[in-house]
Structure 1
Amino acid sequence: MSISVLGAGAFGTALAITLANARPDITLWARDDSAVESMCTERVNALRLPDAHLPEALGITSDLTKACQAEIILLVIPTQRLAAFLETNAALFAGKILVACCKGVDLATGLGPTATIKSKVPSATACVLTGPSFAVDIAAGLPTALTLAGPSESLKDIQSELSTPALRLYRTSDVTGAELGGALKNVIAIACGAAIGAGYGESARAAVMTRGYAEIQRLAIALGAEPKTLAGLSGFGDLTLTCTSQRSRNYSFGYAIGAQTSFDPNQTVEGAKTAEAVSNLAQKHGIDMPITRVVAAILANKLNIKDAMEALLARPLKEE
C-alpha cells in the first residue's frame, strides 16, 4: 500500500525519511509551496530538520489531492488543528486508512485523535501512532519503537506497512490507553521541566514523574484503558523520555516557565492545551489530578511555580 505523510514539521519529515529509505512509494505533503520547492531542490528540510537528507525516492508535494491518493495517510497535524483539517478535506480522506501522529486531547470536544477522525470521516479506518521518539533519531535511522493502536481486524497489515528496519511498531487495539498515555505524559513533562527550571532538583522531578504516572493511570483506566498499555511504550516509555530530555519540547517549555526564560513560540507544545482539556475531563469524571490541575493553572497565569510547588507539597499525607 502506498503511504503519504501529511505535515512537513520535524516529526512528519522524519517519518517520511525513514519510510522512504525502506520503500519507494512515499510522499511528503507540505502546505507551503516555497518550502516544497526548496526541499525538492536541496533535498533537506532546512527549517525543521536541517541535518537530515531527504531520500531521492521521496516524493514531495504541496498538492493535497495528489498526496491523498495514497492508501495509508499519516496525519502529522497538531491535535488542536486536526478536526478543522479533516472537516475541510473530508472528501479526500473518505475510505482511507488514517493514522494520527499527534498526541493530545481536543480542547473543544474532549476527543482524542482517533475519535476526532471518526467524527469527521466516518468511513475512514482510524489509528494512532504514538510512543517515545525524537524526530532527529528517527531521521538518522536510530532504533525506535512505537505503539500503533487501532481496530484489530486491520492492524497487523498496517503495522507491517509502516515498519522499517529501524522503526519497530508494536500493535494494540487499546486506542484509549495509547492515546491517553501519549497525551497525558506531555502535561507531566511540562511539570517536570518547570521543577528543574525553578531549581527544585532531580529528586523533585522523580517525584513529579512518579505521581504524574499515577494520575495518568487514574484517568486512563477510568476511561477504559488497559493497565498494561499504560506500562508500555505509549505510557511509561513515552513518559520517561519526555520528562528527562532537553530535546522534549514539552519539557523544555516547562523548563522555560520554571527558569522564567523565553521559549520559541513557533514550537508546537501539545501539552499546553492538553493540560486544560484534561483538567476539564478529570473534573467531569471526578478524577483527582493535582499535577495536571496545577499545570493548567500555571499556564492560565492563575498560579506561579513557587505557589504551585507549595500547593502540591501541602497535600494530605496518605498511603502511596
Structure 2
Amino acid sequence: MDKVSVFGAGSWGTALGYVLAQNDCDTLMWTHRADQAQEINLHSNEKYLKEIRLPETLRATSSIDQAVAHAKVFIIAVPTKAIREVCRDIAARLEEPVLFVHVSKGIEPDSLKRVSEMIRDEIPAEWIEDVVVLSGPSHAEEVVLEHPTTITAACENLASAKRVQDLFMNHYFRVYTHTDVIGVEIGGALKNIIALAVGITDGLGYGDNAKAALMTRGLAEIARLGVKMGATPLTFSGLSGVGDLIVTCTSPHSRNWRAGNMLGKGKSIEEVLSEMGMVVEGIRTTKAAYQLAAKYDVLMPITNALYEVLFEETTTEEAVGNLMNRMKKNEMADLIDLL
C-alpha cells in the first residue's frame, strides 16, 4: 500500500486526499489546526467541502512531525504564500529523499519564481527524489462528487510523472503525463488572472461577448509569457492551459471568478477578501505576472489592466475602456508570434 502525506487541508488538498484514500493509499493529511484535523478524522471538512462525507480511511493530524514521518510521497497543497514556510518545516524533519507533488497555482512576486522552484529553494537537493506539478481543470467540489475530471502530472523526468499518474488515476479522476513543467505551472497560475478579469466583466453586466474576448486574448498573453520563459506553445492548448482557463473563468466554484465578480459589482479588495474567507491566488499572481511581463518584455494588456485595478486604484470601468481603446492589431500576426 502506498503511503502519502498531504500538506494542506483546504478544499483541493482535501479532495486529493479523498481520491488517494479511495485508491487504497494510506493517506495522512496535515493541517496546522488541531480542530480541523479532528473534524477530518470524523469524516468531514465543512468549511471547504460542505455536506461531503470523507472516506473513513482518510486521516489527519496537526503534527508535522507525524506527517513527515508517515510517507515518502508528499502532496504540497498550501497557498503559494505558505510554500516556503511549510517546506522549511518539512526540510528540518527529513531523513530520506521524498517525491514532492505540488498542486499550488501561483507565482511568487518579486522573486518571480514558480512553485517548483520555491520548493527546490527550501528543500536540500539530497532530500528531493523529484518534484512533480499536478494541475488542470478541476474544482474540488466536483471531484468529491466523483464527477469526471482530467488533469496533468508534469515533470521533466517522465517516470516521476507516471508514478503520480498511477497514484491518482481511477474511474472518475483521469491523469495525463507531461514534461513541460514551465508551461503547466505558468498556465495554472496565470489563468487565475484572467478569471479575475472575467469575473469583473460579469459583475459589470457585460455578458458573454466580453467573457469570450477575455478568455481568448487572455490565453494569448499567457502563452506569450510562457513561451518567452521556455514553455512549449502547445502546452497552452492542453488541460493546464485552455482547459484550466475555461473551468476557472466560467464557474461560480472558482474563487478568482467570484472575487472578480464582487469587484465588478463595486466592492473593494478588502471587502472581497473578507467575504471570501479563503486565499484568492490570482490577486498575488497578478503582481508577479506584471513584474514578469516587464522582465521578459512581453505585452500583457489584460494583466496590466487588472494590476491597475488591484494596486493603482483604477476603476473597473476605466480598465475595460483602456483595453477596448488600445491600438489596432492583426490577430493572425499575434498568433504567429507564438510559433
TM-score, structure 1 length as denominator? 0.96
The number of equivalent residue pairs is 319
SS of 2:314's partner is coil
**Residue 134, structure 1, aligned to residue 139, structure 2:** yes
In structure 2, the partner of 1:238 is: 244
- Cα offset for 1:39? 2.5
Displacement over 3 Å in runs of 4+: none
CA shift in 2, pair 1:317/1:108, >3 Å: closer
Note the C-alpha offset of 1:197: 0.5
Match of 1:293 in 2: 304
Counterpart of 2:283?
272
Please name the residue that 2:58 is paired with: 58
CA contact (8 A) 1:99 1:129 kept: yes
1:284 to 2:289 alignment? no
**Gaps spanning 5+ residues in structure 1: where?**
none
Give 1:265 deviation, angstroms.
4.1
- Could you report, residue by residue, the CA deviation over 1:156-209 in whole angstroms, capped at 9, with x for unpaired residues? 222212222221111111000000000111001100110110122210111111
CA contact (8 A) 2:149 2:173 kept: yes
Counterpart of 1:75?
76
Q: 2:49 is matched with which residue?
A: 49
Contact 1:80 1:107 in 2 (8 A): no
**Equivalent AA in structure 1 for residue 328 of structure 2:** L
Aligned to 2:335: none
SS at structure 2 position matched to 1:317: coil
Q: Which residue of 1 aligns with 2:224?
A: 218
Tell me if the contact between 2:192 and 2:248 (Cα under 8 Å) persists in the aligned partners: yes
> How many angstroms does 1:270 deviate by?
0.6
Query: Superposed, which structure 2 residues align to 1:1-320 within 5 Å?
Result: 1-41=2-42, 43-68=43-68, 69-93=70-94, 95-121=97-123, 122-123=125-126, 124=128, 125-150=130-155, 151-261=157-267, 262-263=271-272, 264-320=275-331
Farther off after superposition, 81-90 or 198-207: 81-90
State the Cα distance separating 1:155 from its structure 2 match. Answer: 2.1
Distance (whole Å) between structure 2 residues aligned to residue 242 and residue 265 of structure 1: 16
Q: 2 CA distance for matches of 1:199 and 1:162?
A: 39
Contact 1:19 1:164 in 2 (8 A): no
